Amino acid sequence: MPIAAPPPMYAPPAPPADFGGWYLRGDIGFSNQQFKDLHNTNAALYAPVVSFQQTSTVNTGGIFDVGVGYRVNNWFRADVIGQYRGKTNFLATDSYTFTNAGVVTPGVDTYTGTKSEWLVMANAYVDLGTWWCVTPFIGAGVGAARVTIDNLVDTNTPTNGVNLAGSGSKWNLAWAAHAGLAYKINPSTTLELAYSYVSLGDGVTANSHNFNAPLSPYVWQVKNITSNDLKLGVRWELNTPPAYAPPPPLVTKG
């Protein structure tokens, strides 16, 4: 009785290679901003000050960005984004004492205004592995920010004086640190939830003037603007990995 030939042996499939490619991205979110200091470039204003303390708050603002990137492999990717950071109101208060005819007198200045930014940034990310379609990542970025300060009004309590400044803009070096989670919805679409710490540099107004007075050569400066951002984004892969069908089974003739 003839013995049947053993079934054909197949080589195991090769492991999938890391697949890179171009992608588009878009993000929306909100900013939680702060700045270190607001002051006038006229140093003579501060000469009689004996003690000084400043507090400030900035309202939450919207963030909108789009970008293009390249995924080198399953671990590393990079992109370039353009971002608009919406107008936010800010409030600052100076509490101080100053000498007035030899008498130490308390004073308060209250500042109101708005600010916004355009940001262009190149970012690099490291993906830390994938579990159940979720990939944690970290990253960093560097670029340029155009900070605009509008409608700054300084109201002085002891004298009821008012100082005004028009819109001014300034370009600065900007940098950011990122961390987040990415969820792959399908081979071409990934959803991101990300946190970013962003340093935007300084802002500056146009020349200031007292109410009903001519412009002075002095401006107001908003120093060291930073932000804690939370964003929700989507990445669209432009060239997803090709799907290979398994080879057909071999048929042997008996």
DSSP summary character for residue 212? T
pLDDT one-digit tens code per residue, 181-195? 999 999 999 999 999
Q: What is the CATH number of the domain that holds 178?
A: 2.40.160.20
In a domain, 17, yes or no: no
Structure confidence at residue 5 (pLDDT): 56
Alpha carbon of 195 to those of 89, 108, 137, 229: distances in Å?
22, 36, 11, 6
Between CA 243 and CA 16 the distance in angstroms is 10
Among residues 176, 149, 151, which one has the least CA distance to residue 83?
176
Sequence-ordered strand ranges (E) for the chain: 21-40, 49-58, 61-71, 76-100, 103-127, 134-156, 162-165, 168-186, 189-204, 208-210, 220-237
Could you tell me if residue 104 is inside a domain? yes
Predicted confidence band at 144 (pLDDT cuts at 50, 70, 90)? very high
Taking residue 222's Cβ as centre, other Cβ atoms within 10 Å add up to 28
Query: First-to-last CA distance in the chain?
Result: 14
Specify if 248 maps to a domain.
no
Parallel, antiparallel or unpaired: strands 134-156 and 189-204: unpaired
pLDDT of 3 reads 60
CB atoms within 10 A of CB 213: 12
For residues 143 and 201, is the Cβ–Cβ distance under 8 A?
no
Q: Find, among 153, 144, 247, the residue nearest to 201 by Cα.
A: 144
The pLDDT, as a whole number, for residue 216 is 84
Q: Say if residue 199's pLDDT is above 90.
A: yes
Angstrom distance (rounded) from CA 14 to CA 20 = 18
**Total structural domains within the chain:** 1
**pLDDT per residue over 86-106, tens digit each?**
999 999 999 988 877 778 888
Cα dihedral sign for 96, 101, 102, 103? negative
Query: Confidence band (pLDDT; 50, 70, 90) for 244?
Result: low
Show the domain range for 117: 22-237
Residue 138 is predicted with a pLDDT of 98
16 domain residue, yes or no: no
Residue 244 lies in a domain: no
Classify residue 13: in a domain, yes or no.
no
Q: Within a domain: residue 100? A: yes
SS3 state of residue 75: coil
* 3-state SS, residue 240: coil
For residue 212, the model assigns a pLDDT of 72
pLDDT at site 73: 93
